[in-house]
Structure 1
Amino acid sequence: MELVLTKHREEILKHPARFKVITAGRRFGKSVLGLMYLLRGQMQQGSNLWYITPNYRQGKLTVWPMLKSIMRTQHGWKINETELSCTQSGVTIAIKGSDAADSLRGSELTRCVLDEYAYQKPGVFEEVIYPMLTTTKGGALMIGTPDGFSNNNFYDYFIKGQGDDPLWKSWQFRTIDGGFVSEEELELAKSNLDEQAYRQEFMASFETAANRAAWAFDRSKHVTKATDLSSYRVAGIDFNVDYMSAVCASVYGDGTVHYYDEIRLKNSSTEQLCIEMKKRWPKVVETYPDPAGTARSTTSHRSDHQILREHGFQVYARRRHPSHRDRLNALNRKLRNAKGEIKMTVDPRCIYLIKDLEQVQRDRQGGIDKSNYELTHMLDACSYFLEYRYSVVQKIATSIEW
């Protein structure tokens, strides 16, 4: 079996991050990439290198034949068909299944691959694999095709790898990027699959069956870094003890809005949020907060709006809460209007806003589903500003106060 070092594989293998996350379309060549990750570099005596699939049988049928084919061309390796392992001079390369996760505990790991991670048992990395990597300071490669927003945290780790943590890095590749499937086959797949299934299986897009609140959002089109921020900057705010949330936007003359930073504080107060905003966003004066903040404070006898004004912020808010539908219409029209124009973008560092845009769902009334307290806060903060300034339906009653 020939291992070809393509430019995508080379980029991944040479990157210094300890934990790497790959979401890729079907037939991208994920298994080959995983084996190259395990076999790269020098192996010292006592090294344990594991390729972990969602179940033992899957690993035996798909990965084990490839590993055997490779190791048979290398001198001195002992192949054990029963254990699905290859050993030499104290080095062990083995195929494992996470369906019997407890049986994996106890060993020290040097490197591991978690294949089809979206289908791995929840907690297998955090509770079983990561502790085995700590003594060796070993690394892990998580690879797979997205399964919506699965019940493990494949999506969360992908988002983490898009941030600034040097230990984590993530990539997203389409099937066509792997070079193994022709454009003709992909066109055939389009005719045989619905759009959502095609985007998930061949475009490596995190999809979900329910109706997304930000239905016009597309990571590949809307997540980008701005080359230059405008001088006009505003902040949208959602008041909660968990989580106090604010998102900052740069607004351009043509009406384009670029969200470039966010603040998310746990077990906090409006006072603490104001201090952090002044520190992080000294140029921001205009704020577009939760309209309910005029009547009550999250943690103080003063109203949230009053606290904002005391810190020098100008407060723009409706006298009454706009409907969820009005906010979602304003948001989605900015994301993509009827002419196909994109008037809203998001910096990759805004991981919680992006998560909301991808995961928050609509309820049966067409509003925002609030059942998951971890979500919606950044989407709310973002949409208060958009609904106020770019409302689809013109409003009359407003309050503008210092």
Structure 2
Amino acid sequence: MALSDTAIRTAKPAEKPRKLADEKGMYLLIQPGGAKLWRLDYRFDSKRKTLALGSYPDTGLALAREKRDAARKLLAQDIDPAAQRKQDKHERKVSQENTFEAVARDWMKTKGKEWTAGYATKTRACLEHHALPSLGNKPITEITAPQLLTMLRVIEKRGTVDMAHRIQQHCGAVFRYAIATGLLSADPTPSLRGALSTVKTEHYAALTDPKDFADLLRSIDEYRGEVTTKIAMQLLAGTFQRTKEVRFAEWSQFDFDTALWRIPAEVMKMREAHLVPLSTQMLAHLKELQALTGGNRLLFPSSTNRNRPISENTVTYALARLGFKGRMTGHGFRSIASTILNEQGYRHDVIERQLAHAERNQVRAAYNRAEYLFERKAMMQEWGDYLDKLKAGAAVIQLRGEAA
């Protein structure tokens, strides 16, 4: 006979636990101390089991029967309700422990081993300032694309569209890390494709007329500021590497016998070691510099701290003092070299390798590093000779006898 609320409420405890049967395997277990506990007896895999359904009066008769029926539906699907409950509890625990912030910090700790200190600091600051305040305490499994977009739109409305895109990329990396570690099944960021404003690409200022470039080269040679700054600009012009790679250059990276500059992977933007052939002109500039800073680790140490490189604005300010403010940047030397070398017929792949642009095909990239070194050595010497001719006032000239 089924139980009633009155029978449950008035039931008294005995010296030993006693059961008041309801129906479909459910009963009320009354403990000697007065506790009234709902239980469901069932069989699974030929084993007798008991499932707790709550305690009375917190769990009333109607709610207890709902829980019983839900358990019986699982049994009909050949699912053990006790095991399912344990799994649900585990998932809730994992979800609560693995907030977006917890996963993001674990991602930064893991991936940070591959990053430079500067990039790690910037990435952490981006997430801490923009993403963690709104998403940090949410379980990563519960974050939806609309929630992510709401956070990004706030950043976008501040006028920092590029930052919104950067944060989206960082968040996507965190979600993919969660997938890889078994905490998440899907990344919500691809759903946001096209939802943010397009970033307007700003090109680095660079001279386009060879005559203007020649004026710049002569101005650099006549620079009356710090000699180290002058040679930094000459190294940028002669090797067209990135300003960061020049700023952080160390004497141990240079081999004067083989005329090679070996830039380690941790300095490179693409995290891949890079070989830079040096022309005789560059070797002469470096030997001049060696007399000034050869006793230091860095080629271009800061004047205030010899263990730190010159600032990223040193070359920019020097170019401005030479009269090229707004017309030329340190990065502009790369654009100039790429344009001239391509126009004069050098192989595109050789130029791209010298610029250390990424090669998507990893097998081909490894092959190209070896294949192009001989050609790059010849090209860089011809480039050094070309710069000398420009400075001497030559008209528009070919780097070599005829374009190849």
TM-score interval, smaller chain: under 0.3
Write 1 or 2 for the structure with the bigger share of helix: 2
* TM-score for both structures, normalised by structure 1: 0.24
Over alpha carbons, which structure has the higher Rg? 2
